Amino acid sequence: MKVLVINSGSSSLKYQLYDMTTEAVLAKGLVERIGMDSSILTHKPTGKESVTEVSEILEHNMAIRKVLDKLTDKVCGVLESIEEIDAIGHRVVHGGETFKQSALVDGDAKHEIRKLIDLAPLHNPAAMMGINASEANMPGVPQVVVFDTAFHQTMPEKSYLYPIPRVLYNKYKVRRYGAHGTSHAYVSEKAAEYLGKPIESLKIITCHIGNGASLTAVDGGISVDTSMGMTPLEGLMMGTRSGDLDPAIVPFVMNKEDLTVNEVNSMLNKHSGLLAISGTSSDMRDITDGMQAGEPNATLAFEMYEYRLRKYVGAYAAAMNGVDVIVFTAGIGENSIIVREKVCENLTYLGVELDKSLNAIRSDDPRRISTENSKVEVLVIPTNEELMIARDTFRIVSEQ
């Protein structure tokens, strides 16, 4: 079965085509700047030359058409015809309480995703555009939706409720949902597989730290707590997001600076985090370069980032009454030797012992970076959300 995985943003569309017999990626690519002048399509067929094409791509329907043209192109294509695509899997950010797992797309599913737009006003409409565009261009091909929130639907009430009037939950479903669920699920499963132990026997803390960042406490394979909340703003300090803060700061700043709701939202989501403290960049590479050059603001940004991350690891070890495995993943988790080193250096009380030479090795494979004597296994596992989406799509479509 060949599965096309689509991750549709408001002005972008990422894709990967899988052959599920081997789970090989046949091609992948990205359409950027949809709806703007000079949209860019980058197509990377496995084993062939990549292609970059600049043109005007007005909306998602046209973007999918262009992608299908590339997939079936005589030179850079990997398919004889579109009919070879057996199923399509879509990443959807918010599944609310409705979607506890991935689902086949039908009228009801689309209706429910639309109903959740309130909770993800930027992301769910983009996913709907991808779904509708796929349907228009590949009618009759089954589609599956895979949600970033679904893995965290196992959180108990004590984790997901906020201590605020219950009426807000009853009326508006104000609660914690978490995010990056597909990634946390993938790396926790992969960690158990790597260690050769049943996931049911493990207490795992997964650290998905990229531009956005979240930690999850995975107890026996089940998400029992995660650091993102009703929106992806809660929790860790991130590239441009504040993470946790005293909620009273919001009305205080709005009042003092005469800010609107949108302005304060933008401040906390786009102008905070590493960017705000360093004053220069949201990218961890720039922050660590700055720190190594003795730049005080970059150093402070790094220290705050690491400190807040480490506090969450401690909190989740407490939440599960222990931890067997800590997994680092995503852009920073997979690549930043110094972030991993500084976090682990301060977790010796848990029995963590980092092997600095293993930590310094760069590789795309899952690997252990703790010593043999470490009481906690520390692993680096490259995430693969697309493969997880392809697997769910394959499973659900095969069951039909």
Tell me whether residue 6 or residue 284 sits nearer to ligand AMP (CB atom).
284
Using the contact rule CB under 6 A, the part of the chain among 64-72, 76-84, 224-232, 277-285 near ligand AMP is 277-285
HSE-CB of 252 using CA atoms within 13 angstroms: 5
Q: In the complex, what is the shortest distance from the CB of residue 285 to ligand AMP, in angstroms, rounded to a whole number? A: 5
Q: Shortest distance, CB of residue 295 to ligand AMP, whole angstroms?
A: 16
Pairing, β 367-368 against β 377-380: antiparallel
Q: Confirm or reject binding of residue 235 to ligand AMP (CB under 6 A).
A: no
Return the number of the residue (305 or 312) whose C-beta is nearest ligand AMP.
305
73 binds ligand AMP, rule: CB under 6 A:
no
Check binding of 77 to ligand AMP (CB under 6 A): no
Which of the residues 313 through 332 are near ligand AMP (CB under 6 A)?
330-332
**Dist. CA 321–CA 334, nearest whole Å:** 26
Nearer to ligand AMP, 176 or 180 (CB): 180
Q: How near is the Cβ of 380 to ligand AMP at its closest, in Å?
A: 12
The side-by-side arrangement of strands in the sheet containing 325-329 is: 222-226, 213-219, 203-209, 325-329, 377-380, 367-368
| Nearest-approach distance from CB 389 to ligand AMP, in angstroms | 16
Question: Among 49, 70, 67, which Cα is nearest to 57's?
Answer: 67
Binding segment (CB under 6 A) for ligand AMP, from list 93-101, 143-151, 169-177, 279-287? 279-287
By the rule CB under 6 A, 285 interacts with ligand AMP? yes
Smallest separation (angstroms) from ligand AMP to the CB of 338: 8
Asked if 9 touches ligand AMP (CB under 6 A), the answer is no
**25 strand-pairing partners:** 18
Six token digits for residue 145: 């939706």
Residues 6+ apart with CB under 8 A from 326: 204, 205, 207, 313, 344, 347, 352, 376, 377, 378, 379
Q: How many residues bind ligand AMP (CB under 6 A)?
A: 11
Nearer to ligand AMP, 87 or 378 (CB): 378
Stretch that binds ligand AMP, among 218-226, 281-289, 294-302, 317-325 (CB under 6 A): 281-289
Q: Does 283 bind ligand AMP (CB under 6 A)?
A: yes
Does residue number 228 form part of the binding site for ligand AMP (CB under 6 A)?
no
- Cβ density class 89-118: b for 16+ within 10 Å, e for less: bbbbbbbbebbeebbbbeeebbeebeebee
Examine residue 68 and tell whether it contacts ligand AMP (CB under 6 A). Answer: no
Cβ 179 vs Cβ 148: under 8 Å: yes
Where do we find the tokens 């110094």?
338
Residue span 331-370 as binding mask against ligand AMP, x where in contact by CB under 6 A, dash where not: xx--xx----------------------------------
The verdict on 132 binding ligand AMP (CB under 6 A) reads no
- Do 4 and 397 meet the contact criterion of CB atoms below 8 Å apart? no
Q: Indicate whether 210 belongs to the interface with ligand AMP (CB under 6 A).
A: yes
Active-site residues, by number, are 148
The whole-angstrom separation of Cα 190 and Cα 270 is: 32
CB atoms within 10 A of CB 170: 9
What's the gap between Cα 17 and its chain centre? 19
| 239 binds ligand AMP per the rule CB under 6 A | yes
Cα pseudo-dihedral 158, 163, 165, 167, rounded to 10? -30
Judged by the rule CB under 6 A, the positions of this chain that interact with ligand AMP are 210-211, 239, 283-285, 330-332, 335-336
